[in-house]
Structure 1
């Protein structure tokens, strides 16, 4: 749950910065999560016996959901794009996530890279 807390905090901060630049976000920012239990706890305000250990400071995630600041969405672990920035990956997994981000390998850029290096 602490990852979600940090993601929510950073989302709120980034929305604030964008607003300062005149780029008001009209829709909730999607937060992709691979944990259905975390999504359920954040969306359901009912107190559960198993969740009583969660500190009250985590409840601001629920408030951010209710206010339309964030929208927690399920994303399979295999599709988590953030893994490319946070984990050691196999070569195949790295290439797959890199392609999902739209980043091309240097070798596929061909002459563009060679011409750029001569300037």
Structure 2
């Protein structure tokens, strides 16, 4: 879109291990099998193009599209998403 971005794009993640792997550039022996895309994310975090932040599962609105949820959580996320009125 050819627009200058002044702040990093924030990606919310509910997995603390993933966040640690993205932020720590040190090679981990237990992570050598991980896909190359994590190396690209590490580069983007180091270049401050992307920021990874923790978001608890109960507040991860995207889960409504990706996971089977309990009814209560489904309706909570649906309200957070703006699909129903409170």
**TM-score with structure 1 setting the length:** 0.61
Q: Which structure has greater helix proportion?
A: 1
Note the alpha carbon deviations across 1:44-89, whole angstroms, 9 max, x for none.
1111211122244430110111122211101111211101112233
Alignment gaps of 5+ in structure 1: 1-18, 109-119
Q: Which residue of 60, 71, 84 corresponds with 1:91?
A: 71
Note the alpha carbon deviations across 1:20-41, whole angstroms, 9 max, x for none.
4xx4332111111111111111
**TM-score with structure 2 setting the length:** 0.80
- Larger RCO, structures 1/2 (Cα 8 Å, 6+ apart): 2
- CA pair 24-88 structure 1, distance change in 2 beyond 3 A: same
C-alpha separation between the residues in 2 aligned to 1:79 and 1:90?
14
Residue equivalent to 2:62: 82
Residue equivalent to 1:44: 24
**Bigger radius of gyration, 1 or 2?**
1
Q: Which residue of 44, 53, 66 corresponds with 2:46?
A: 66
How many residue pairs are counted as aligned between the two chains? 86
C-alpha separation between the residues in 2 aligned to 1:102 and 1:24?
30
SS where residue 88 of structure 1 aligns? coil
Alignment gaps of 5+ in structure 2: none
Residue equivalent to 1:12: none
RMSD: 2.0
Q: Which residue of 4, 12, 37 corresponds with 1:32?
A: 12
